[in-house]
Amino acid sequence: MKETQRISKLLDQLYHGPSWIEVNILSVIQEITAKQAATKVLQNCNSIWEIINHLISWREEILQRVQGNIKESPADNYFRPIMDSSETAWTTTLQKLEQSQRDWLELLASFDPDILEKSYPSGRFTYYELFHGIIQHDAYHLGQIVLLAKQHH
């Protein structure tokens, strides 16, 4: 198995399951309503929806960086208020997350594993580190989402 296939498998297990941490993104967010997702259950914390949008934005950002489109990270770190908290908007957000998953799996399927150890255009990290970084980032925020979702039950 190629290393890119292993990375793809880890990314997909964290998203669809079964994952090593016994929880996956899809199973957690499928149980969350738009109202729950938009509600800030803890003071000075982001809502589940804001976290999901942050995940989507960073997934898209890193995909762009891998493809050579380097830009400054925004000051808000992609944590932005929810302007439309309807069920339709929540469904659209979940579809965007699913699309980002498909985009990542497509990238990994076509990525040359021989260049994993090379630095991507900015030179800060290797492609390997970027790919594992997005998995670590997703897992970190999944933990937050799980804790916030428990506040609704």
Amino acid residing at 17 = G
Whether the link from the prior residue into 81 is cis, omega within 30° of 0, is no
pTM: 0.95
Asked whether the CA dihedral 113, 59, 90, 50 is positive or negative, the reply is positive
Task: Name the residue among 146, 150, 145, 147 with its Cα closest to residue 50.
Answer: 145
Sequence ranges of the domains in the chain: 3-150
Q: Which CATH code for domain 3-150?
A: 1.20.120.450
3-state SS of the chain? CCHHHHHHHHHHHHHHCCCCCCCCHHHHHCCCCHHHHHCCCCCCCCCHHHHHHHHHHHHHHHHHHHCCCCCCCCCCCCCCCCCCCCHHHHHHHHHHHHHHHHHHHHHHHHCCHHHCCCECCCCCCEHHHHHHHHHHHHHHHHHHHHHHHHCCC
What pLDDT score was predicted for residue 85?
A: 97
Interval 31-53: pLDDT, tens? 999 999 999 998 899 999 999 99
Amino acid residing at 84 = D
Interval 64-110: pLDDT, tens? 988 888 888 899 999 999 999 999 999 999 999 999 999 999 999 99
Averaged pLDDT of the chain: 94
Tell whether the model's pLDDT for residue 153 goes beyond 80: no
